């Protein structure tokens, strides 16, 4: 069992620099990302981990299907295909399918989510 709670320790997350290093397009600010894999890795078909980001706006086309839950901070996500937009805070979750273009607006100094990603299937 791997507990994923709002109180999950995020101190082992490692900086990866700009979200552009993860394939995102920076739109505004200088959003810096940090990550920690709990199960799997970037090459795994299924991975579970933590993703953190500093304030800013960026565009990401999902390279995997994802279910995620916010641990800390606030973010507004906009599905650029449908125009649907929603704000998320601690305890809120979302699901996006692979290939979805999403505009991220990280509204707080720090934001962290836990997630499960599936590349194929």
Note down the domain range covering 102: 16-118
Helix (H, G, I), strand (E, B) or coil at 17: strand
56 inside domain = yes
87 inside domain = yes
How much is the pLDDT for 3?
Answer: 87
Residue with tokens 């100094």: 109
Burial per residue of 88-107, b for 16 or more beta-carbon CB atoms within 10 angstroms, e otherwise: beeeeebebeeebebbbbbb
- For residue 44, the domain's CATH number is 2.60.120.10
Q: What tokens does 115 get?
A: 């997630």
Q: Domains in the chain: how many in total? A: 1
What are the pLDDT digits (tens) for 61-115?
Answer: 999 999 999 999 999 999 999 999 999 999 999 999 999 999 999 999 999 999 9
The CB density around residue 50, as the number of other CB atoms within 10 Å, is 21
108 inside domain = yes
What pTM was estimated for this model as a whole? 0.94
How much is the pLDDT for 23?
Answer: 95
């Amino acid at each position: 069992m791997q507990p994923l709670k709002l109180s999950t320790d995020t101190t082992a997350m490692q900086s990866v620099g700009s979200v552009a290093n993860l394939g995102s397009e920076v739109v505004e600010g200088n959003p810096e990302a940090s990550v920690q894999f709990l199960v799997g890795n970037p090459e795994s078909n299924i991975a579970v981990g933590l993703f953190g980001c500093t304030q800013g706006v960026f565009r990401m086309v999902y390279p995997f299907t994802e279910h995620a839950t916010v641990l800390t901070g606030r973010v507004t996500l906009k599905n650029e295909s449908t125009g649907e937009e929603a704000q998320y805070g601690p305890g809120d979750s979302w699901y996006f399918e692979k290939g979805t273009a999403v505009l991220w607006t990280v509204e707080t100094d720090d934001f962290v989510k836990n997630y499960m990603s599936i590349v194929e299937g």
